[in-house]
Each structure stands twice: as C-alpha cells, then as structure tokens.
Structure 1
Amino acid sequence: MKTLPFLAASLLACTLTLTACKDKADKPAGTAELPARTTPVSIESIAREARGFTVGAAVSARTIYVFFDPQCSHCATLWNEARPLKAQAKFVWIPVGLLNASSTPQGAALLAAPDPVAAMDAHEESMRKKAGGITASGELDTLKKAVELNTKLLDRYQFNSVPTIIGKNAISGDVVIKEGALPTAQLAEAFGLKPPVK
C-alpha cells in the first residue's frame, strides 16, 4: 500500500522533467541545479530584439513571448494548448535553433511565410506524421541570422529549454517565466488569463 504514493510521486517527477526539450549538449534533466541568472530578464529587450510572428489578439495589451524550436515536440504541444487563449492575449512565437540542423532553417521558413500561423500549423502536422516538418527553400540567409540572434537571446537569459514562455501576469503585473509546455488551464493561470469554458 505504501508503494502507490511512491509510484504516483515518481510518475509526477518524471512527467515534470519531460515537458521541455533541451539542447543535446546539456546534461539530462535533474542532473544539475539551474544556475542563477546573471542577466535579469527584460521583456522590453525581448520585444525589441527578438524576431517572431504573432498569434492571437494583435492589439492586445497582454503580450506573451514563446521561444520555441521547430523540432521540439513539447513546443508543438504548447502551440495547441495556447490556442484557446489567443483571444485574450497576443502570443509572439520566437523561433530558435537549438535542437538540430533543421531547427534554424525551419525557423527561418516560418518567419518568411506569408501566413506564419498557417505555416506553423502545416509544420506541426508534418511533425506529428513524422515527416520532418516544413522544408526551407529560397533565400533565407537574413532570416536564418534572425533565428541565430533569437537563439543568442535565449542563451543570454540562461533559459535552459524550449519552449520558454515569458510575459506579465495580467492581474498582478509580475513577470512570469515558464520553461516547458503547460496545459491550457495552467497557462491561463500563470499569466492571469481566464481559463477557457469547456
């Protein structure tokens, strides 16, 4: 009987460590403590320096920034979990090249798309089918550099995984930083949004 609580706690711990993608060069989750941030996170700096695409209420006073890697399955989960909240906030999706050689060109292709949201939907569908995602084509050097700068911005703030979500809580005004995919209800709670009606 005492093993049931232990198994439940172990399952929860494993689940919490598997909600984000990490750079392959990093140590596995849980093997080291996260370093203290030497550079304070600045939403204003992210807004000014990052290159991304907007999903949701374009004129919303609430902006939530999402650093993601196109090859990250947890980022795909967050893409879907954030959908029900797009009427309440502007989500700016910022591609980075963290996980493999396809990440940067695919991030550039998403930025180059006439409709990045439709391109991201097509990309995620391709990833779900294990088809590798969208194909980067054309002259994308400038946008590849933008993705590389996004990746350096991610590194500057010492974020350790993707997706990384940054914004202000709509109620308290506090800066909120979350690493990993969150279910819709937890995402709403973290950023002071109304949970979607079921």
Structure 2
Amino acid sequence: MPTHFLFKLFSSALLVTSVLLTGCNDAPGTGATEKSAKTTSAPVSMAALAAQAIGFTAGSQMSARTVFVFFDAQCPHCGVLWEAAKPLKSQAKFVWIPVGILNASSTSQGATILAAADPVAEMDKHEASLQAGQGGISAAANIDANKASIAKNTELMTSFGFASIPVIIGTNAQTGALVTQEGAMPTAALAKLLGLQAPAN
C-alpha cells in the first residue's frame, strides 16, 4: 500500500475529534462539502423526505424532532456518523436512509438492513463486521423490493444535488432553520449543527 495513502488514512483519523470528516463519493478525489445552491437541484425539503424516503429509525420514536441521514452501507464515514449520533438519540429521531452509490455491495447490504426485523441491530452488526475487516453483513435472500427502495432513495438524494455521503438533513432545535451537511461529524459538532445539547465528556 503506498505510503501517501497510509498517511491520508492516518490524517483522517486524527481529524475526527476536531473538524468535520470528509465523506464518501463515487468519484475519486472528491470530498464532502457543505450543501450549496445548485440551479439543477430540487430544494431540500423535510416534507419530501418524510413522504418519499424509505429508511429506519434509530433514536427516540416519540421525538418531534426528526433528522434524516442518507448513508451508504459501504461508506466508512457513514459508520463514524452512526456512532457519533448514538449519544444524541434521546433528543431526536434519526431516520437512516440507505442509498447505493459506492459499489454493488452498497445496494445489497443496504437492502438487507432495511429488510431486517430489527434494522438498528442489523446496522450495528454490519458496522462491527466492517470494523473487523470482514466486509459487512451478507446479503439476505428475497430483497428485490428493498433493492428497489435503495434505488428510489438514491434518486431522491441526487435530486437534491448531494454528491457525497453521509448527508445530514434536519432543523436546528434552537433556530428552526433547515440545516444540511455532507460528511461525517463528531458528536459535539453534530449536536451544534442540530441545536441539541452536547453530551458531557
């Protein structure tokens, strides 16, 4: 493995605790950027997400505050965000929306998570497998309908003009403003973006 690649990986790990992490993209050499206005993109809409996105909920089911997260099952930064969001789950309902942009496993693994009786547990199992270098969960059988849902989610994400994952979309609890972010964030930065209370260290 080239030395410069190892250095990039090490540098990214150091940035987790201090700045926004980059995101995954299907185009090499591109990183996460904050959402900017694109004339060819549809306006980001919480209502459209609630009506069209197909995902699963992690966090407070009774919370009036919803945060949508587009993720790819093969994206390591999405796994970082999955863990970073856990300390905030009592303050918001995180709806995780699988897409397929990185490789063939993205769709099959995302569909398997969607089809699981307990998607949160399946996601934890998947992330543990990725961390162990085992590539993630095996694809389940009879998930064609779920694969179709992944395709719809991917189309919805790209219709908003997003190119990197994960994508965070919500409203700030303090200001009510719509907030979006491409790329993973540590817990404190995520709490600040969403206007939530950061957990004590």
TM-score scaled to structure 2, two decimals? 0.86
User: What are the residue-to-residue correspondences of 1:60-71 with 2, within 5 Å?
Assistant: 60-71=63-74
Q: Distance in 2 between matches of 1:29 and 1:87?
A: 30
| Unmatched runs of 5 consecutive residues or more in structure 1 | 1-10
Q: Distance in 1 between matches of 2:158 and 2:127?
A: 25
Q: How far is 1:28 from its partner?
A: 2.8
The reply to whether residue 97 of structure 1 matches residue 100 of structure 2 is yes
| Unmatched runs of 5 consecutive residues or more in structure 2 | 1-10
1:154-188 Cα shifts (integer Å, max 9, x gaps): 11001110000000001110000011000100000
* Identical-residue share of aligned pairs (%): 50
Q: Distance in 2 between matches of 1:137 and 1:87?
A: 31
Residue 115 of structure 1 corresponds to which residue in structure 2?
118
The reply to whether residue 28 of structure 1 matches residue 30 of structure 2 is yes
Q: Distance in 2 between matches of 1:174 and 1:110?
A: 31
1:50-98 Cα shifts (integer Å, max 9, x gaps): 1000000011011000000000000000000000000000000000001
Give the length in aligned residue pairs: 184
1:114-171 Cα shifts (integer Å, max 9, x gaps): 1111100000000001111011121000000000000000110011100000000011
Q: Distance in 1 between matches of 2:200 and 2:90?
A: 13
TM-score scaled to structure 1, two decimals? 0.87
The reply to whether residue 46 of structure 1 matches residue 49 of structure 2 is yes
Structure 1 runs, 4 residues or longer, greater than 4 Å off: 14-18
Residue 134 of structure 1 corresponds to which residue in structure 2?
137
Letter in 2 for 1:100: N
User: What are the residue-to-residue correspondences of 1:1-198 with 2, within 5 Å?
Assistant: 19-24=22-27, 28-29=30-31, 36-37=38-39, 38-198=41-201
Residue 5 of structure 1 corresponds to which residue in structure 2?
none
Q: Distance in 2 between matches of 1:84 and 1:132?
A: 26
Q: Distance in 2 between matches of 1:19 and 1:166?
A: 16
Residue 3 of structure 1 corresponds to which residue in structure 2?
none
SS, match of residue 97 in structure 2: strand
- Judged with a 3 Å threshold, the aligned counterparts in structure 2 of structure 1 residues 132 and 114 are, in CA distance, closer, same or farther, namely same
SS, match of residue 102 in structure 1: helix
> Could you say which structure has the greater relative contact order, defined with CA pairs below 8 angstroms and 6 or more residues apart?
2
* Kept in 2: contact 1:17–1:29 (CA 8 A): no
RMSD of equivalent CA atoms: 2.1
Q: Based on CA coordinates, which of the two structures has the bigger radius of gyration? A: 1
* Kept in 1: contact 2:20–2:185 (CA 8 A): no
SS, match of residue 104 in structure 2: coil
